[in-house]
Structure formats: structure tokens, C-alpha cells
A and B are shown apart, each in its own frame.
Chain A
Amino acid sequence: MTAEERLAALVEEVRHDPAALPLASARAARVVGRGPGLDGRRIEDVARSRLLVTACEAVGPDGAADVVAAQYAVGDADERRAVLLALPELADRGLGDGAVPVVLDALRTNDTRLVAAAMGPYAAAHLPADAWRHGVLKCLFTGVPLAAVADLDVRRDAELDRMVRAFAEEREAAGRDVPADAHRLLAAADR
């Protein structure tokens, strides 16, 4: 069986029984595959995201937020990343703002894999301004490239620029390096 076929079998399992999602997600990398895929995304992320979307469809729009919260709660860090990566797709399918608590949870961690995944298009569209700004700042703090932040140019505002400038000044006062991403953001702000 190809990876696609193995994934299709797991997807069918979850479609028939959405309660099978936690175990299917836990096994997904071993069953389907692991590592970089053709489109720059990791195979296990793609597989787990597809399983989550399937479970959300199976329970209908009203149940999607609960499925997302539950799967995030029982997932390990890799599985949680896959939940975060699936959010933009689920937003249009009834999830709406329902996964904001999950994104905020991810932004409270110091796990850069989760912080980066949390700041995608779903965060850009649904996070309140204060939380979103702190998410950007957290990326700078923890070394996550700002390329991970979706719609940075659209959502940035004077308050974010002020926060980043203060961050850069603090680093300079300490004789520490300022991330190149912070310089770029501030240079754009000065234009």
C-alpha cells in the first residue's frame, strides 16, 4: 500500500467513528509516514491534519470546536502542531473563533514548533490584537523566524512596532544581538 492508501484507510476509520481520532492521530506517523513531504510540509502533519478535518466533518459544524479542543488536549507536541496547522482549513467549516483557546495555549508554551504553528493564518484572522502582538514578540524572543507569522504586514500596527522597538533597545542595552527579523520589521516601520 502507498502512503496515500494507508492514510485513506485511517481517514475512513475516523469518518465512521470520530471517537477513533485520538488513537488514529497517535499512530498516524507510524502508519502513514514521517519526514519532509513534497510540498514543504511534513508527512505526519499532513496526515494528522486530514484526520482532524475528517473528524470535524463527521460531527458537523457545531461540534468542531469540541473535537479540536479534545484532540489538542490528548495529543503530544507533534499532534498538537498538526491541530494548529489544520485550523485555517477548519475555520471555514464552522469552527469560527472556537479554537482561539487552543492557539492561546500553544502561545503559552516555549516549544518553538508549537509557537510557530500557532501564528499561522488562523491566528492572523481570529486572535485579539493584544494576544497576536505578544505572539509576534514571542517569536522574536524564542527564535522563531517571522516568516511563520501569517499576514504580518497586514496586521502589524503602531503598538507592535513600539513593542518590537523596545525589545530591540533592551537587547542592545544588554550588548546582545537583535534578531534580523526585528530590524527588518522596524526598518519597514520607519519607511
Chain B
Amino acid sequence: MRIFDPHIHMTSRTTDDYEAMHAAGVRAVVEPAFWLGQPRTSVGSFVDYFDGLLGWERFRAAQFGIAHHATIALNPKEANDPRLLEVLDLLPRYLEKDGVVAVGEVGFDSMTDAEEKVMVRQLELAGEHDLPVMVHTPHRDKVAGTRRTLEIVGQVGLPPERVLVDHLNEKTVDLVDDAGCWAGFSVYPDTKMDEDRMVAILDRRGLDRVLVNSAADWGRSDPLKTYRTGQAMLAGGYSDDDVDRVLWRNPVTFYGQSGRLLLDDVADDAGDFAGNTLQRGEPLAPGGAATAGSEG
């Protein structure tokens, strides 16, 4: 089983987790920028956090044979703190980096005006930087929040196939399917979604435009929930190919729209996904940089 966890906060996880994930078949992850449990109080904290996502965490993951990508955004909770609005001005430079495969997590927490304003601006940034978007749906008043989110996505005019709406459940999945967006499910030990409910939803709506993630972070969560969902699918009569589609090919298809996946280093392990990784360039002339700058 090869697994691409499309939403996991590895910064909060241990090296034991990385080892267990690799043993279970995880070869690629996406870590969305989100809040850290402890609210931040300055823009500088975000600079260090974003740099860590693209720097140290990617390096750490690589030590365990896992390709690490990130999504970058000002998250909904902290969008409400006026001290942090300048984070929006930092985003353009991060949204040009390799391995940044979407704008996210954006969305609603308490459905305030400030959250809506920040979400709209970041949806626009996704268009400007040619990136897909990962949208977080609120834990409280989820149906209303999901409905309003989809209205805003429609108003901004992003193509629905470039929008992932995450943390869905039985009450919100149809709204997202009807809008044509990708449906994300966070399989948790005891809250958002579990393996068997997940399989029941797949039975009902099929395997198109669906992503299953562990959303593991600093809370009670399990980085192997993707693997366990794959097992539950097999027990429910799905084929190995069906599992591969949900747990590998679907995330590669969604995030591959960025043109920024970094899967070359895990290619031998994870099989063929030609056309979805960054271009392998033809070599530059030998000694190129040695004479650099002095020419022309």
C-alpha cells in the first residue's frame, strides 16, 4: 500500500511517527500551515513557522524516506487577530516556493467578518500564484460554514476542481460534491470521521475527487489513520487498485495541479507518477556557474 497523506501536521509529530508511517507505506505528505495550539502574537512567528515547514520539516521527513510538501496561508483562527494581518503581505514570496502545493488552510473558524475578508484575499492569491486551495471547514456550525465557504469560492471564481474542502462529514459531503470541489475527510480516533464511516461514504458517493487524511497534529490523533482506512476499504470489498486511487493517485492528481510536487526522491519506492512531478531539467553546460556573471 503506497500512501500520500494529504493533510498532516508533522511539525507536531515525533520521529517514531515518521518511522511508523514509512513502515505502513506513507511516502509523501502535505503539511498545511495552521495554528499551533498556542496563539501567535507577531508576524515574525509566522516567518519562522513557514521557513520551518519548507526547511527543517522537509529535511526531517526526507531522513525517513518521505517527501514533505506544504500549503501556506494565514489560518482562520489567527485571521481574527489584527496584529497578524501583515502575514498576508508575506504570502506572495512563500507561494512561489518549490514544494508549496496549495494555499491553505484558509476558511472559517467562528465565521467572523475578519475571517471572511482574509479568506477572500487568500483565494485571490491562489489565482494569482496558480495554486489550488485547501479550505478548512469549521468544527462548530459546520453545515452553515461549509455552505458559506462554497458561496465565497463561487464568487471569487476559482475552478472547483482546484478547491479542496476538508474535514467533511455525512452532513457536509453532498454540498461539496454538488459544487464540484474535492472532498477531504480527516479520519480521527474519536471525532471528525472514522474508518468505517469513511468506507460507508465511499460506498455511497464513489472514489472520485475524494481525499482521506489523518490530519494528525498535537491533539489526540493518529498518523496511521490513512493506512487503517485503506485496510477498512479492503475489508469492505474494495480492490488494491481502489485503495491506491484514494490514498495515492487522488492526492497526486489534486496537488499535482500546482506543478510543485517533489516526488522524485521517493519515485523508486512509490512507483510511476510521470507527469505529476516537477520537470527534470536537461543539464546546463558544465562549468556554468564558474563563468557565471562574467558573461554578457
- List chain A positions with a Cβ less than 8 A from chain B: 2-4, 7-8, 11, 15, 22-23, 26-27, 29-30, 32-39, 41, 43-47, 49-50, 53-54, 56-57, 74, 76-78, 80, 85-86, 89, 93, 109-113
Contact = CB atoms under 8 A, between A and B. Distances in A.
A23 B96 contact: yes
Interface string B72-101: 000000000000000000000100111100
Given A26-B93, A43-B281, 14 more contacts: A26-B98, A29-B98, A32-B281, A38-B285, A39-B288, A43-B284, A46-B288, A50-B288, A50-B293, A53-B292, A76-B98, A77-B55, A85-B289, A113-B59
A46 B279 contact: no
Q: Which 6 A-B pairs have the closest CB atoms?
A: A33-B281, A53-B293, A50-B292, A39-B286, A26-B96, A77-B55
Interface string B175-216: 000000000000000000000000000000000000000000
A93 B99 CA distance: 33
Contact of A34 (B51, B97, B281, B289): B281
Q: SS class of chain B's interface: helix, strand, loop or mixed?
A: loop
A54 B99 CA distance: 25
Contacts of B284: 3-4, 7, 32-33, 37-38, 43, 46-47
25 contacts: A3-B283, A4-B284, A23-B93, A26-B93, A26-B98, A27-B96, A30-B278, A33-B284, A35-B280, A36-B283, A37-B284, A37-B286, A37-B288, A38-B283, A39-B286, A39-B288, A43-B281, A43-B283, A46-B284, A50-B293, A54-B293, A85-B289, A109-B55, A110-B56, A112-B59
Given A53-B292, A57-B293, A111 B55 contact: yes
Contact of B290 (A54, A89, A113): A89
B27 interface: no
Contact of A30 (B98, B282, B293): B98
Contacts of A36: 283
A109 B283 CA distance: 30
Nearest to B286: A39
B60 to A, nearest CB: 9
B125 to A, nearest CB: 14
B237 to A, nearest CB: 41
A20 B259 CA distance: 22
B7 interface: no
Given A47-B284, A50-B292, A76-B51, A34 B279 contact: yes
A183 to B, nearest CB: 25
Interface string B267-282: 0000000000011111
Residue picked from B58, B97, B286, B288, most chain A C-beta under 10 Å: B288
B260 interface: yes
B54 interface: yes
B58 A77 contact: yes
Residue picked from A15, A22, A26, most chain B C-beta under 10 Å: A26
B264 interface: yes
**Size band of the interface chain B makes with A:** 20 to 34
A85 B93 CA distance: 22
A15 B260 CA distance: 26
A35 B281 contact: yes
Contacts of B285: 4, 38
B219 interface: no
Residue picked from A2, A3, A27, most chain B C-beta under 10 Å: A3
A59 B292 CA distance: 16
Given A3-B281, A77-B58, A30 B93 contact: no
B287 interface: yes
A92 B264 CA distance: 36
Nearest to B54: A76
Contacts of A35: 264, 280-281
A6 B6 CA distance: 32
Residue picked from B93, B290, B293, most chain A C-beta under 10 Å: B293
A33 B280 contact: yes
Interface in B120-175: none
A78 B98 contact: yes
Contacts of B93: 22-23, 26, 74
A86 B85 CA distance: 35
B286 A38 contact: yes
A54 B292 contact: yes
Contact of B289 (A3, A89, A112): A89
B283 A89 contact: no
